[in-house]
Structure 1
Amino acid sequence: MNQIGIDETELTNARVVLADQVLHGAVAMAGGVITDIGPASHRGTDLNGDYLIPGLVELHTDHLETHYAPRPKVRWNPVAAVQAHDAQIAASGITTVFDAIRVGIDEHADMRMEELRILADAVTAGVTAGRLRAEHLIHLRCEVSAPDCLESFEAIMDHPLVRLASLMDHAPGQRQFASPDAYKIYYQGKLKMSDQALAEFIARRSFESSTYADKHRLALAELSASRGIALASHDDATRAHVEEAKRLGIRIAEFPTTFEAAEASRAAGMAILMGGPNVVRGGSHSGNVSARDLAAAGLLDILSSDYIPFSMLQSAFCLAGEVPGISLPQAINMVTKNPADAAGLSDRGEIAIGKRADLVHLRIEDGIPIVLTVWRQGRRVI
């Protein structure tokens, strides 16, 4: 470790998780980037042998909408919703987050198309004012079977924070809901419908999927390619799904539901993303393939928090501690370097000289990683 500079901060006596090893040492940062990595010294801030990892990069969280619409027909102030969401994200060790905003509304959704822009603008206001702890970008999760999906996408696709879009279809009998029973349990429980109302809902959603899904996928892929928006598929279940995704230029396979789809995604060169809750719970809530099983088979690249922000960090340590063959650096890469690379963010995601000083200081207590301090671009935010 070189002599510490005037404007440099050094963090020492840490278990530093690099991309390929864990080093007992120190990390220095200045000007928002990492300037040196070396042996522990007596200078700087003593981390008491705790872990120092890169800031997490989250590609898919549905969490922002739950702050804005916490109950049916309830709307929170969008600026306050973004601030609350940001605080929880940062406290979970996430320094870069792609906030997922839905595109494509069915008649039972408790959201309106114009509210997409309200949320996006609230995020932008926080970014512009410099009051957000994490760096926020926007992920458009596009329900391709919804009649208004393309119209909604076109209304927001040129927003400066939009960097990622996922193409999804939650119609019954396919993908996430290949099982009719799973579909019935989920939607009847969520929407409180009678059996007759559910049957009508299923028929309508099936019709909409067959009418709109294919043409919307193609149009959205073309619009995204022309704007440099990265594309993800969602809930692929078959080789045919993956082959279609490959033809559309998709780079990320979100939540494949079967081994078949995951293996095809790997062969197609896609980064495979699964949810942290799946890892922590030991399986999918929909009865789909286990993320742990995919990890053990070498078919998992990225972990996302999905609906629980802290699950990203928790699931990484679960994999490293409980799945044979997965080291701690490999598991941490799944929440840092790998998602950064998949999203084209080459300036972050690992502790390396010249990379952004996005860092998380944590320790393990009762088997849970406890976040103590978070820096984004060298500035302490937690």
Structure 2
Amino acid sequence: MISHLSPLRLTGATVLRDGSLQQRSVAIANGLISKGPFPAVDLTGYLILPGIIDLHGDAFERHMAPRPSAPFPLETGLRATDRDAAANGVTTAWMAQSWSWEGGHRGPDFAEEFLAAVAAYRPRMLTDLRVQIRCETHTVGTRERLLAAIKKFGVDYVIFNNHLDEAIEMSHARPEDIAHWAKKNGRTSEEHMAMVWAARDQDKDVPRHLCKLAEAFDQMGVTYGSHDDPDGTTRETYSLIGAKVCEFPTARTPAALAKAVNDPVLMGAPNIVRGGSQSGNIAAIDLVKAGLCDVLVSDYYYPALAQAAFKLAEDDVMPLEKAWAMISTNAADVLRLSDRGVIDYGKRADLVVVNADTKAIEATISGGRITHMMGEAASRFTQMLSSEVPVAAE
């Protein structure tokens, strides 16, 4: 177990607090935002921002298997994911693990193995890593198994998605992509499509299956939503069964419908940074400008989170305060995390220290523990820790 920082006070920086950027200090004690005449670290020239909360990321898959044919032990992958997240200002993150008819690294067997590995690694975590289950809709026969895994491992977030239509369309238009998809799971294209059609045979049972899952999730306190909604009808259907989170809508209509009924909309931060969707769907910036996006997530690349917030501010789309809220405060609200997402007394000491000139993240503090530190910020912390001279409170 990594111990908390000794009580200290961060001074001289510009701090995002109470919804605005302010010149004030931040005190930390026992892992929480506090008050007190503690030893000071001079962070003049830096921004202190709330720790980033990432509601959906699959970058961990690259750490588990840098190449499809070269998997590494799960603990090795989790440790690398932990460090990757921390180096990019992330203090809480949901790793999006599939529960799919595909099998392999996206099947129930691997999902259960992964959940067990996360539970075993938890005492050594720096970042608060959690698991989001991406449940394929056509997995009717695994319902009780899924619910048992969610209960056993304390999963608090599930997203429904359906990739069958994508697979069928791909088999006609881009058979080479199906071949690549199949090869990753050690199958031929024919074997892969046989699994697609077998899953499609469950069509008539899927609505009842999803309703039963939704009822169980409500009883268990699990937040749930849907992924890649293509149209308003799909989003409305999910919203009606309680799947309120609208993750990565592929067009404006489902996003607009979600906002009309106060369902949160999540989009990928890489989409903002790169200027569009890598898969050809709607550009996230269009939804942000229209007020139809609440939260940005890492998707497949942790560095994009902070980069997206700064880009929105630099391009005058919105002030930094609001842009940063899309990767902190708003995300905390979606998952009902009342102890984090803002810098305030009694909240978790989740902080990101950013060089105001370069926008480089030079320190991350998660739950009052240093999880990442580099550059000039590291020098300043080291100087304070070596001297430990108390200063008067402001």
TM-score band w.r.t. shorter chain: 0.7 to 0.9
Residue in 1 that maps onto 2:147: 154
Corresponding position of 2:246: 253
Partner of 2:343: 351
Q: Distance in 1 between matches of 2:253 and 2:268?
A: 18
Aligned partners of 1:263 and 1:299 also within 8 Å: yes
SS in 1 for 2:24: strand
| Unaligned residue ranges in structure 2 (runs of 5+) | 373-394
Residue 327 in 1 paired to residue 322 in 2? Answer: no
What is the CA distance between 1:68 and its match in structure 2? 2.1
Residue 3 of structure 1 corresponds to none
User: Aligned ranges for residues 33-112 of structure 1 at < 5 Å?
Assistant: 33-36=32-35, 44-106=40-102, 109-112=104-107
Compute the displacement of 1:251 (Å). 2.7
Shift of 1:7: 5.7
- The structure with the largest helix share of the pair is 2
Q: Is the 8 A contact 1:12 1:43 kept in 2?
A: no
Q: Is the 8 A contact 1:143 1:168 kept in 2?
A: yes
Residue aligned with 2:25, SS: strand
Contact 1:95/1:358 (8 A) holds in 2? yes
Partner of 2:276: 283
CA deviation string 1:104-156 (max 9, x = no partner): 2315x4555322222112211121x3x21111222111111245553551341
> How has the CA–CA distance of structure 1 residues 65 and 200 changed in structure 2, closer, same or farther, with 3 Å as cutoff?
closer
Which whole-Å deviations, capped at 9, do the CAs of 1:176-228 have from their partners, x for residues lacking one? x98998876754554469x9859956972782573554333223212211211
> Are the aligned partners of 1:63 and 1:308 in contact in 2 as well (CA < 8 Å)?
yes
Q: Quick one: which of 346, 367, 377 aligns to 1:377? A: 367
Q: Per-residue deviation at 1:74?
A: 3.5
Report if the CA contact (8 A) 2:116-2:153 is conserved: no
Q: Taking structure 2 as the reference length, what is the TM-score of the superposition? A: 0.83
Tell me how far apart the structure 2 counterparts of residues 277 and 182 of structure 1 sit (CA, whole Å). 26
User: In 2, Cα distance between the equivalents of 1:256 and 1:179?
Assistant: 19
Are 1:124 and 1:161, in contact at CA under 8 Å, matched by a contact in 2? no
**Pair 1:361-2:356 in alignment:** no
3-state SS of 1:298 partner = coil
How much has 1:357 moved relative to structure 2?
0.9
Q: Distance in 1 between matches of 2:307 and 2:339?
A: 24
- After superposition, the Cα gap between the structure-2 partners of 1:357 and 1:42, relative to the gap in structure 1 and judged at 3 Å, is closer
Q: What percent of counterpart residues are identical?
A: 30
1:339 aligns with 2:331: yes
Number of residue pairs the alignment of both structures matches: 366
CA contact (8 A) 2:226 2:238 kept: yes
Q: What is the distance in 2 between the residues matched to 1:184 and 1:319?
A: 38
CA distance in 2, matches of 1:206, 1:323: 46
Q: Cα RMSD between the aligned structures?
A: 3.1
Unaligned segments of structure 1, at least 5 residues: 1-5
Q: Does the 8 Å contact 1:172/1:205 carry over to 2?
A: no
Deviations along 1:37-61, one digit per CA (max 9) or x if unpaired, are 9xxx996111122111011111111
Paired AA for residue 365 in structure 2: W
Are 1:243 and 2:239 an aligned pair?
A: no
